[in-house]
Chain A
Amino acid sequence: MTASLSGTVIEPAPDNAADAAGVAIRTEGLRKTYKSSRGDVEAVRGIDLNVPQGEFFGLLGPNGAGKSTTIGMLTTLVAPSGGRAWVAGHDVVKDTVAVKRRIGVVTQNNTLDMQLTVSENLQFRSRFFGLPAKVAARRAAQLIDAFGLGDRRNAMADQLSGGQARRLLIARALVHRPDVLFLDEPTAGLDPQTRVNLWDILKVLHESGQTVLLTTHYMEEAEALCDRVAVIDHGKVLAFGTQEQLKDNAGADTIVTVRFDADLPSDFTERAQLSALPGVTRVEADGEQLRVFSREPEGLLGTLVSTAIAGGLHIRDASEQKPSLETVFLTLTGREYRE
């Protein structure tokens, strides 16, 4: 399915000076295969990225697309099976210590040190990075205040709420002034208020010059935060560019969805010759639902409705989705994203 779309994939900008300053993250054919007795799993199958300093970059894809594995390789915690990658100019395999010095990582799981308090989590992380104990204590206090954790400073890390823990994870990733901040699904499982609150923090960080690589399976998160996005699925980059580029070029069609009160006859789409309608790129009939992807959506909904009525079908509801990251994503992967 992805093969038929290869023409729509936007290639990364040509990279003349591969090791030039100003490149925060670069990968060449990065791949990872997990060996197992039940068969190998190709989690990442050759990813090429190029993220300049100061950019807020998003890896967007469904669960299991290879996002976390990619971030794992860039942060030295997953050993690549092939290809190469550099973070802040350092090879992630040969020079792990130099990479770790320059990155801050917010993992998807809560990796706070549960044996320590909120303040101690920040202090010891600072000290791991060579700050003297006094400086570490002062910096911990500042971070706690800035991240609104003042009343929890002496609480044990395992007593924090989900949102507080997430804020502390971000604060902890920033103690040593990283060149690149990695965020793996930072708002997964959080309530909407906490999510918006975290977005505010991330926006401010970005505005103050922080390079960020974020993975997410929430379209609205990528839309709200990212300068550029790579849509990935099955371990491959399907499209790459700014949101506008993606919407313009990556086959981001308007999607018209019609739901019926009974399953569609199997030959309905053929009989109605929907694919022959002007601008229609794809038709998906699935049970009671019909989804039509089109470049020329004007009048399409009306045509569909009248076609259905003429065919004796009863419509339950109908909707039209304008091009958005979500329609880009659905156009590229051809299905609802998996929560």
Chain B
Amino acid sequence: MTTTLQPADIGTKADPVAAEAIAALVNDAPVPSPTLLKTFGAMMAREFRVLGRNAVSTFIRSVMQPLLFVFVFAYVFPKIGGGIMVGGGAARGGVNFATVLVPGLMGSMFLMQGMFGTTMPLVMEFSWQRTIEDRALAPVPIRVLGIQKICAGAIQAFIGALVVLPVTYFVHAAGQGPHIHVSNWLVFVLVMIGASTLTASMGLLLGTAMDPRKMQMVFAVVLMPMTMLGCVYYPWSALHAIRWLQILVLLNPMVYMSEGLRAALTPSTGYMPIWAVMLALFGGTLVFGYLGLRTFRNRVIN
């Protein structure tokens, strides 16, 4: 025997919904009083909730790269090859490679955490479901949402770069530890902030201007050259042997992060003039921030 579903059954078979409760919720709701600051704060709180939820994977992502780098360059190489010196460092009287590497690694962490920490969530939020509209409907101008994205990315970058310090401090062969001390706190803090905001601004531009389907290619043509030619593994001054390259890499924002940190942490390796570093980091933040906010707005508003 077959049972027929009467039309009247359809509604009652669905999940019960308390009509009175909904009506009360509409009429008795607390009246909201949004302000720019409250909304911005709530958006930042949302970012940290998400980061906290992914804390383990975020931590692993930020620790693996510096850990493996220092393991190979400050532990394996000294053990098997009797100590690797870079040209520039050796000329300055035996600065070990770990010392050269630490500011560079921090620079590359800025790039990983700041740029891709900003870009990847944006790519997801702009994908076919456009979940960005959730936040775009918050009662603030769209550019405030963009600035919030930069701030969230910058904080990630800041923390990601700091993680390098304990890792490199503990992992190295005997006598191969980096020689680091903060020679100038003001320069150190400014470089950390400037590098964080610059990479996050670049991330905002990249995440809104790039076709998500070409992200693999972006890794190949942006991340790789920026890291390999970003004075991560050698100080900029050491490039004087290849003059054309030394000039060409000035286009690479990574160079100023690595060199700024060398000035603040490992001045013995030699570094670029501080004014040039500051100009590039903060000027770059303004330029990329402006462009990023513009493309962000154009992507949100059709």
Contact = CB atoms under 8 A, between A and B. Distances in A.
Interface string A1-18: 000000000000000000
A193 B13 contact: yes
B22 A146 contact: yes
A110 B129 contact: yes
Interface in A161-210: 163, 174-177, 192-194, 196-197, 200-201, 204-205, 207-210
B14 interface: yes
A219 B35 CA distance: 41
B302 A72 contact: yes
Give the interface centre of A111, A133, A163, A192 by most chain B CB atoms within 10 Å.
Answer: A111
A111 B130 contact: yes
Contact of B137 (A77, A114, A194, A196): A77
Given A97-B140, A177-B26, A207-B23, A113 B11 contact: no
A176 B32 contact: yes
Contacts of A139: 25, 29-30
Contacts of A103: 137
Interface in A103-134: 103, 105, 107, 109-116, 120, 124-131, 133
A142 B141 contact: no
Contacts, number: 159
A135 interface: yes
Given A78-B301, A131-B32, A208 B22 contact: yes
A79 B17 contact: no
Interface residues of B, number: 51
A-B pairs with lowest CB-CB distance, top 4: A197-B14, A130-B34, A127-B42, A208-B23
Interface of B: 10-11, 13-19, 21-27, 29-35, 38-39, 41-43, 45-46, 49-50, 53, 128-142, 300-302
Interface of A: 34, 72, 75-79, 96-97, 100-101, 103, 105, 107, 109-116, 120, 124-131, 133, 135, 139, 142-143, 145-148, 163, 174-177, 192-194, 196-197, 200-201, 204-205, 207-210
Given A77-B302, A128-B43, A210-B26, 9 more contacts: A78-B302, A101-B139, A128-B139, A130-B39, A174-B26, A177-B26, A193-B13, A200-B14, A208-B23
